[in-house]
Amino acid sequence: MTGTAVARGAITGSGEPAQAAAGEPLLRVEDLQVRFRTAAGILPAVDGVGFELRSGETLGLVGESGSGKTVTSLALLRLLESPPAEIRAGRVLLEGRDLFTLGEREMADVRGRDASMIFQEPMTSLNPVLSVGYQIAEPLVRHLGMSQAAARARTVELLEQVGIPNPARAAADYPHRLSGGMRQRVMIALAIACKPKVLVADEPTTALDVTIQAQILALLVDLQQALGMSMLLITHDLAVIAETAHRVAVMYAGRIVEIAPVEAIFGAPRHPYTKGLLRSIPRIERTRESMLPEIPGTVPSLAALPPGCAFVDRCPRALERCRTDRPELAAMGHGHRASCWNPADA
Amino acid sequence: MTDAPAIAASLATAHESQARRVLKRFVHHHLALVGGCVVLALCLAALFAPAIAPHDPIRLDTSFRFLAPFQNPAYLLGTDELGRDTLSRLLYGGRISLTVGLVAMATTVLTGAVIGIVSGYLGGWVDTVLMRFVDTMLCFPQVFLLLVVAAFVPPTLLSISLIIGLTSWMEVARIVRSEILHLKQQDFVQAARALGAGGGRIMFRELLPNTMAPILVAATLKVAGAVLMESYISYLGYGVQPPLASWGNMLTNAQGYFDTVPWLAILPGVMITCTVMGFNFLGDGLRDALDPRLRMEG
């Protein structure tokens, strides 16, 4: 991630993100379990994930590919295709209302109005044959009951708000005429159109150039502050997390292994996996000769997870107990929790 | 990927609309252009038939029977066995044929598109049931099906059109279904769901516009098919009833005199051929012009 140095510098510019808004959790996920029925067997993609998202807060969800980040985010809004996916257990409470008990129609009312989502691929996430303005106006008409004329006017305002030059012109344009960065701005305009309380951003910058990434992240942070939204930011890019998140949850093999305020994750990680992740970030000051450290081994297959800690075979601090007993998330002080029998020193 | 300034510039300079590029490619397709012109001419002729036609198409003039074309300037294309003006009958017959063609096409496209979308989007048992129904419909030869139904339903313009339309939508349903199967996997469908769109909205507002190109092509080809079908059943006596003229029943009347006055059969035959070929060329041209793989290029 060559963006780290840049991103680190940018933090100081946008103020210290660690001042998370305190208060009642807006979104509360409890013991979420999702599994996939495949030809290869039943895969527990998400196994007992739980976290809270407070009002106005950004929670970063980090992990490697296949660690269950995206499945978690899709499960929150009940967007998983079922079959093959199956939500086995868990609750998702948005302002105290359990989304898993809602009817399909009520759920559709929640999506886009109370909680909306932006995706990784701006190139394909917009309908190619509908104009940008039409696509943004749609949720306004549907969720807020706006008239077509009012929705059109609001659409131009929204496009302006997400920093699109000549918004009136862009509203009449079709997605294929816009660059990736511009399309992601349009997606953001779509997602915030109804002023949702929660925005789920699934790798919003992964498909973009580094320079555009910084712009889009800055835009998301600005909008979040302006609208007082909570954001669940899913990424595998620690630089992005460092720049935007208040708290961080680290996922590994379908479970959260560590969750803590952002400065604690970067300053004093307790879980050996988090430590390994941070060590493997390239730094500009590192001399050319020294090798980039990596975590030895590979992620275990979901079909054959060990009975104990999933990270045990790659862990430098593994104990005998780690092979047999699965560690649960345990409090380590100051809102810091990690699931490890032999955590690193603070 | 340059951002704001470059985009603004590109927007300002070459703002060529989608429709214009499709039109451009269409015009470069010569056969399609010819087809389009023929179709346009036929439609105009049918539309303004009362103004253009020199005579009443059902008025008899027994003193001028079996006139050959260009024999009498008052009857430019000759007269039939009852002394009716062939040119006027062709013009009014065109009205009937094109009306049947267009109404049948609309029925076909509407039925086919709805069944295709629902089947493809919902999948599962709905898909299975609908597609087996399509298979069943395809088992019967269309002409046979048409004649059976036409024997029970009194032949009016509307009933003929509907019968033709309701026996030829299966192909459209299959085309649309396969398009939907491919489209529903795309990210924008999930994005629309994530913003609160329900099934109906996704099917008809998000997916349907994406299938317009193949539907449009199928539609033009279906007009040609329906015109031909109308001729078949009128020729067999189940369609448009005399004295109303249609190209099909003009052919029926002509068959008794084919060895002596062949032009009575040739003229409506040429009209049918022109119409069918015109719509087919138009459809082929539209297919090429709307091809999504070409659409992405400048």
Go through the domains of chain B in sequence order and give each one's CATH number. 24-290 (1.10.3720.10)
- Which residues of chain B make contact with A128, given a CB cutoff of 8 A? 188, 210
Residue found under tokens 């009951």:
A145
User: How many beta-carbon pairs under 8 angstroms link A with B?
Assistant: 100
User: Is B210 within 8 Å of A191 when comparing Cβ atoms?
Assistant: no
**Lowest mean pLDDT: which of A279-293, B82-96, B166-180, B205-219?**
A279-293
User: Is B187 within 8 Å of A116 when comparing Cβ atoms?
Assistant: no
CA-based radius of gyration for chain B: 24
Does residue A263 have a pLDDT over 70? Answer: yes
Span A10-43, pLDDT tens digits: 333 333 343 444 456 889 999 999 988 888 788 8
Span A42-61, pLDDT tens digits: 888 888 898 999 988 999 99
Q: What is the pLDDT of residue B21?
A: 74
Q: Place A290 in a pLDDT band, splitting at 50, 70 and 90.
A: low
Stretch A125-145: mean pLDDT: 89
Which residue of chain A comes nearest to B6, CA vs CA? A179
- Which residues of chain A make contact with B11, given a CB cutoff of 8 A? 166, 169-170, 173, 177
Give the start-end residues of each E strand in chain A: 25-38, 41-54, 58-62, 85-94, 97-98, 115-118, 198-202, 230-235, 247-252, 255-261, 330-331, 337-338
Torsion of the alpha carbons at B1, B3, B5 and B7, rounded to the nearest 10:
70
Other CB atoms within a 10 A radius of the CB of residue B18 amount to 12
Query: Chain B: nearest CA to A86, how far in angstroms?
Result: 17
Q: Place A261 in a pLDDT band, splitting at 50, 70 and 90.
A: very high
Q: What is the pLDDT of residue A322?
A: 86
Query: Chain A: nearest CA to B18, how far in angstroms?
Result: 9
Which residue of chain A comes nearest to B209, CA vs CA? A129
- Which residues of chain B make contact with A165, given a CB cutoff of 8 A? 4-5, 7-8
Q: What is the pLDDT of residue B5?
A: 53
CB nearest to B3's CB, from A126, A139, A179: A179
Could you tell me the sign of the dihedral formed by the alpha carbons of A295, A300, A302, A306, in that order?
negative
User: Is A116 within 8 Å of B194 when comparing Cβ atoms?
Assistant: yes
Span B145-166, pLDDT tens digits: 888 887 888 888 888 899 889 9
**B226-262 burial by CB neighbour count: b if 16+ within 10 A, else e?**
bbbbbbbbbbeebbbeeebbbbbbbbbbbeeeeeebe
User: Is A125 within 8 Å of B205 when comparing Cβ atoms?
Assistant: no
CB nearest to A79's CB, from B1, B194, B212: B194
State the best of B21, B183, B188, B195 to mutate against chain A, taking most chain A CBs within 10 Å: B195
Contact criterion met (CB below 8 Å) for A159 and A136: yes
Does residue B265 have a pLDDT over 80? Answer: yes
CA dist., res. B57 & res. B50, Å (int): 10
Span B202-242, pLDDT tens digits: 999 889 988 888 888 888 888 888 888 888 888 887 878 87
Q: How many Cα atoms are found within 13 Å in the side-chain-facing hemisphere of B9?
A: 5
User: Is B18 within 8 Å of A174 when comparing Cβ atoms?
Assistant: yes
Which residue of chain A comes nearest to B208, CA vs CA? A129
- Which residues of chain A make contact with B5, given a CB cutoff of 8 A? 165
Stretch A128-134: mean pLDDT: 89
Q: What is the pLDDT of residue B83?
A: 75
Q: Place B77 in a pLDDT band, splitting at 50, 70 and 90.
A: confident
Instruction: Give the SS3 label for residue A341.
Output: coil
Query: Chain B: nearest CA to A130, how far in angstroms?
Result: 8
Q: Say whether residue B194 is in contact with chain A using an 8 A CB cutoff.
A: yes
CA-based radius of gyration for chain A: 21
State the best of A99, A123, A127, A132 to mutate against chain B, taking most chain B CBs within 10 Å: A127
Q: What is the pLDDT of residue A249?
A: 93
Q: Place B116 in a pLDDT band, splitting at 50, 70 and 90.
A: very high
Q: Say whether residue B205 is in contact with chain A using an 8 A CB cutoff.
A: yes
Amino acid at A332: M
Span A83-109, pLDDT tens digits: 788 888 888 988 888 988 888 889 899
Which residue of chain B comes nearest to A200, CA vs CA? B194
Q: Say whether residue B8 is in contact with chain A using an 8 A CB cutoff.
A: yes
Does residue A259 have a pLDDT over 90? Answer: yes
User: Is A138 within 8 Å of B8 when comparing Cβ atoms?
Assistant: no
Interface of B with A in 9-28 (CB under 8 A): 10-11, 18
Query: Chain B: nearest CA to A80, how far in angstroms?
Result: 9
- Which residues of chain A make contact with B195, given a CB cutoff of 8 A? 111-112, 116-117, 138-139, 190-191, 193
**A295-313 burial by CB neighbour count: b if 16+ within 10 A, else e?**
beeebbebeebeebbbbbe
| Average per-residue pLDDT for chain B | 82
Q: What is the pLDDT of residue A288?
A: 59
Query: Chain B: nearest CA to A215, how far in angstroms?
Result: 10
Does residue A5 have a pLDDT over 80? Answer: no
Span B165-202, pLDDT tens digits: 998 899 999 999 999 999 988 889 999 988 888 888 89
Give me the interface pTM, i.e. the ipTM: 0.79
Q: Which two tokens stand for residue B39?
A: 């179709």
Q: What is the pLDDT of residue B60?
A: 75
Contact criterion met (CB below 8 Å) for A322 and A312: yes
| Average per-residue pLDDT for chain A | 84
Q: Place A232 in a pLDDT band, splitting at 50, 70 and 90.
A: very high
- Which residues of chain A make contact with B193, given a CB cutoff of 8 A? 79, 108, 111
CA dist., res. B218 & res. B109, Å (int): 8
Span A308-330, pLDDT tens digits: 888 888 888 888 888 888 888 88
The more confidently predicted of residues B130 and A331 is: B130
Does residue B12 have a pLDDT over 60? Answer: no
Span A162-193, pLDDT tens digits: 988 989 888 888 888 888 889 999 999 999 99
CA dist., res. B156 & res. A33, Å (int): 62
Q: Could you tell me what percent of chain A has a pLDDT over 90?
A: 21
Q: How far is CA B167 from the centre of its chain?
A: 14
Query: Chain A: nearest CA to B134, how far in angstroms?
Result: 26
CA dist., res. B203 & res. B126, Å (int): 15
Amino acid at B63: S
